[in-house]
Structure 1
Amino acid sequence: MSAVSTGRRAAAVVALAAPLLAVAAGLEQAVRHFETFVVFVLASTVVTAAVWYSLTRRGLLRLLAVLTAGGAALLVVLLGLSLFVTQVVMLVTFAVAGRYALGRHRVLVAAGLPARIARHGVLLINPRSGDGAAERAGLAAAAAARGIEVVTLRPGDDLAALAEKAVCDGADVLGMAGGDGSQALVAATAMRHDVAYVCVPAGTRNHFALDLGLDRSDVVAALDAFTDGAERTVDLGLVNGHVFVNNASLGVYAEVVRAKGYRRAKLQTWGRVLPGLFGPDGQPPDLALETPDGRSLTGLSLVLVSNNPYELSRVGRPGGRPRLDTGRLGIVTARGPRPVGEWTAAEFEVRSGSDVPVGLDGEALLLSPPLRFTSLPRALRVRVPRTLMPPNRGAALTRRDLNALVRVASGLPAVP
């Protein structure tokens, strides 16, 4: 068992103490400056309401809401600086000291069982994904140099058909360079034929690749999975016959994604669509489902279903999926701007009185109800490079990291 340095132990103690000091300072400030604290809370409430109105109204009402939100937000910032500067400092200290204390246990993780070199590896490349990420990285040439057959999509090509053809022509490892939507189509083919799959992060967000531990800043490095990789099995999600690797969004987000002009002007599209959904004469999505405890939720405006649960308890901002093999779907629901519930399930059903717009890994679909969601446990054989970055999004720390901090502060390694 390797020793933990005194510096890392001290950093772990500081990181664990910082949130407690922040809470204590906040309570002290709230009591000592009670009137200012009340104004701060009221101004924060006004900001929330004004932002909602600015999103769901048009014309003069939207302008007034924007001005109100801006003025209230300025007041919140000024009051917040006077009340909570200590808390901000403590939270920054928590993040910095915590990451230093955890050190190298966040750097590399084992990928899985060693895999044989691909006999006939095929890589499908979507050259338009990620604003041309594959071309900028010289991905096609790098793949060819490794003996991998390259198939580059052209306008009008059927990606699913190309993947099927590659398998029929003898591919024993099938790879996709593109975004989550493209990954899902090719992964579905690999699953059906029990062919090993390689994910190359050449899309815009690359959620699936990040949660596999791939480094999206080094697209070419993912090709090592063909020649010097390791294999593991991961889950896939399924809704009404459609496979997804990341998530399916029903309701508000799906309505916006399918709106004309979304790809070219996303913010403007949100501003145009939301008033029609939540304005005075709007027709919000009407989704319904049963929770695991038997409650019936109706009138939902958002249902977000992920292939394995996301880590939503991060300090700072939500993270990725710690695991892709739990056999569970992550489910988050909202009614208007208010969250309603969060849980996991192996399968469940969503009802609606009309066809349901769905954003499936970022691609817009229209599906007939009921929508039956199912987790496909360990359905996909995935090849990855032998060493990976652990699933980690930014500087925020998770509950598992807090447990690791306690171990380091006690003089034990972060990982048992």
Structure 2
Amino acid sequence: MTPGGGRRTAAVIALVAPLLAVAATLETTVRHFGTFLSFVFAVVVVTAATWYAVTRRGVLRWAAVLVAVLGALMMVTLGLSLFLTQAAMLVVFALAGRYALGPHSAAMITGGHPAQPVPAARHGVLLINPRSGDGAAARAGLADAAAARGIKVVTLGPGDDLAALAEEAVEQGADVLGMAGGDGSQALIAATAVRHGIAYVCVPAGTRNHFALDLGLDRTDVAGALDAFTDGVERRVDLGTVNGRIFVNNASLGVYAEVVRSKGYRKAKIRAWGRLLPDLLGPTATPSNLEFDSPEGPPISAVTLVLVSNNPYDLSRVGRAGGRPRLDTGRLGIVAARGARPVGEFVAKKFEVRSTAEVPAGLDGEALLLTPPLVFRSLPGALRVRVPRTSGPGRRPVALTRRDLNALIRVASGVPAV
């Protein structure tokens, strides 16, 4: 459909906004060059001080914190007006661009597996972890809401085996299996659903619910996700595996995995990070023995972080940075870093990490110890996931990417975006 005058005007505004942001930066640099140099110096100081604060202990750590705070105040003082201008232009770009692309912003995220209407579940079963999300299921009245829809509820009790409960539900005839809990629990139930060829429902009753968000669910409406059992549509999405273990979000090796598996992490996460980072990233840290092949050069070794995601994350979005625009590309996203320096970023169907010892890993936030080599694979379209008919990816935030800019240029010219 040819875009109307309002959308064309919005596209022009969206395209002009980043140009104005660049012009403001150039104007500040030329007219206030000394201020600009001072701002750059403050950025360098804050970056270095922050690194020292997280990798050192004792007096040096607190001195670095003080320097970082003073540097940040200097940055605000020197660059407040420019920052506000840049922020305003990005907001204008995001809002105008989203309106200009209209329904096409949703079409560009749904990918190659469109949602299909499905009948209501004949024997839907919902497993609930009452401890997830600090009791999110209880606050939402989830068990009663599920019973009102004719969904059987199985509540996980102390000492219960979630996998065994899921298998039992399938043996008793479940044709749609749902999970209300965190991403680690979601991965386990998704794996059960795939193994038995039945549909799966994600109910966002965990702490962060990243998988639910990337599926297009409203994380603030926990009970509303139950409509997937009774009035839903079904899509095919990918899963990731490492040595046969399924994950829905990501697998992390290195620093994050070491912290997650540490004693006391669940009760005091910030304290655990502060306690362990000096040993893992500081000057006395033992070099990592992780190694993998890079598609663009020689093997990469001695990395401190490897993140393998089920479909690549997109860090360029003006809005929710770090989300996955699609869950059906059939590709893994791989990001690696050595200290604070990125050393690799690419996508692959299969990825292998070598090591001379067992490797701590965090799979969707759950701590594991894996035997090398670690072989990661994408399972394209493996999971039949049901979401409420009224949900979906929706209009995603517009990004300063070639794809979105080309789409905006097309709309501004009076041509459909896609």
With the shorter chain as reference, the TM-score category is over 0.9
Cα deviation code 1:77-120 (max 9, x no counterpart): 11112555433332232233333434565679986112122111
* Partner-residue secondary structure (3-state), 1:388: coil
Question: What does residue 357 of structure 1 align with?
Answer: 360
Q: Which amino acid aligns with 1:76?
A: M
Q: How does 1:312-391 map to 2 (within 5 A)?
A: 312-315=315-318, 318-390=321-393
Shift of 1:10: 2.2
* Partner-residue secondary structure (3-state), 1:174: strand
CA contact (8 A) 2:90 2:318 kept: no
Question: What does residue 43 of structure 2 align with?
Answer: 44
Shift of 1:11: 2.5
Q: How does 1:25-44 map to 2 (within 5 A)?
A: 25-44=24-43
Q: Which amino acid aligns with 1:168?
A: E
Alignment partner for residue 208 of structure 1, among 207, 211, 218? 211
Alignment partner for residue 158 of structure 1, among 157, 161, 171? 161
Shift of 1:70: 1.0
The answer on 1:253 being equivalent to 2:252 is no
Structure 1 residues 152 and 23: alpha-carbon distance in aligned structure 2, compared to 1, 3 A threshold: same
Shift of 1:33: 1.9
State the alpha-carbon separation in 2 of the partners of residues 349 and 343 from structure 1.
13
Question: What does residue 299 of structure 1 align with?
Answer: 302
Structure 1 residues 21 and 295: alpha-carbon distance in aligned structure 2, compared to 1, 3 A threshold: same
Shift of 1:216: 1.0
CA contact (8 A) 1:320 1:391 kept: no
Alignment partner for residue 126 of structure 1, among 118, 126, 129? 129
The answer on 1:187 being equivalent to 2:190 is yes
Shift of 1:12: 2.1
State the alpha-carbon separation in 1 of the partners of residues 399 and 134 from structure 2.
31
State the alpha-carbon separation in 2 of the partners of residues 79 and 287 from structure 1.
42
Give the fraction of aligned pairs with identical amino acids, expressed as a percent.
71
Question: What does residue 53 of structure 1 align with?
Answer: 52
Shift of 1:223: 1.4
Q: Which amino acid aligns with 1:42?
A: F
Q: How does 1:96-107 map to 2 (within 5 A)?
A: 96-103=95-102
Question: What does residue 21 of structure 2 align with?
Answer: 22
Structure 1 residues 404 and 134: alpha-carbon distance in aligned structure 2, compared to 1, 3 A threshold: farther
Higher mean alpha-carbon deviation, 292-301 vs 405-414, is at: 405-414
Structure 1 residues 21 and 271: alpha-carbon distance in aligned structure 2, compared to 1, 3 A threshold: same
Q: How does 1:56-67 map to 2 (within 5 A)?
A: 56-67=55-66
Cα deviation code 1:314-341 (max 9, x no counterpart): 2365242121111110001100011111
State the alpha-carbon separation in 2 of the partners of residues 333 and 133 from structure 1.
34
Q: How does 1:235-246 map to 2 (within 5 A)?
A: 235-246=238-249
| TM-score normalised over the length of structure 1 | 0.93
Shift of 1:144: 1.1
State the alpha-carbon separation in 2 of the partners of residues 316 and 119 from structure 1.
39
Cα deviation code 1:119-172 (max 9, x no counterpart): 111111111111111111111111111111110000111101111111111111
Structure 1 residues 277 and 403: alpha-carbon distance in aligned structure 2, compared to 1, 3 A threshold: same
Shift of 1:351: 1.3
CA contact (8 A) 2:198 2:384 kept: yes
State the alpha-carbon separation in 1 of the partners of residues 90 and 384 from structure 2.
40
State the alpha-carbon separation in 2 of the partners of residues 285 and 186 from structure 1.
33
Cα deviation code 1:243-294 (max 9, x no counterpart): 1001001111111111122222211111101001122222253321001235
State the alpha-carbon separation in 2 of the partners of residues 398 and 207 from structure 1.
23
Structure 1 residues 353 and 103: alpha-carbon distance in aligned structure 2, compared to 1, 3 A threshold: same
State the alpha-carbon separation in 2 of the partners of residues 46 and 123 from structure 1.
52
State the alpha-carbon separation in 2 of the partners of residues 220 and 73 from structure 1.
42
The answer on 1:227 being equivalent to 2:225 is no
Higher mean alpha-carbon deviation, 173-182 vs 112-121, is at: 112-121
Structure 1 residues 345 and 223: alpha-carbon distance in aligned structure 2, compared to 1, 3 A threshold: same
Structure 1 residues 283 and 317: alpha-carbon distance in aligned structure 2, compared to 1, 3 A threshold: farther
State the alpha-carbon separation in 1 of the partners of residues 293 and 89 from structure 2.
41
Question: What does residue 199 of structure 2 align with?
Answer: 196
Structure 1 residues 190 and 398: alpha-carbon distance in aligned structure 2, compared to 1, 3 A threshold: farther
CA contact (8 A) 1:53 1:62 kept: yes
Shift of 1:194: 0.7
Structure 2: stretches of 5+ with no match in the other structure: none
Q: Which amino acid aligns with 2:250?
A: N
Question: What does residue 399 of structure 2 align with?
Answer: 397
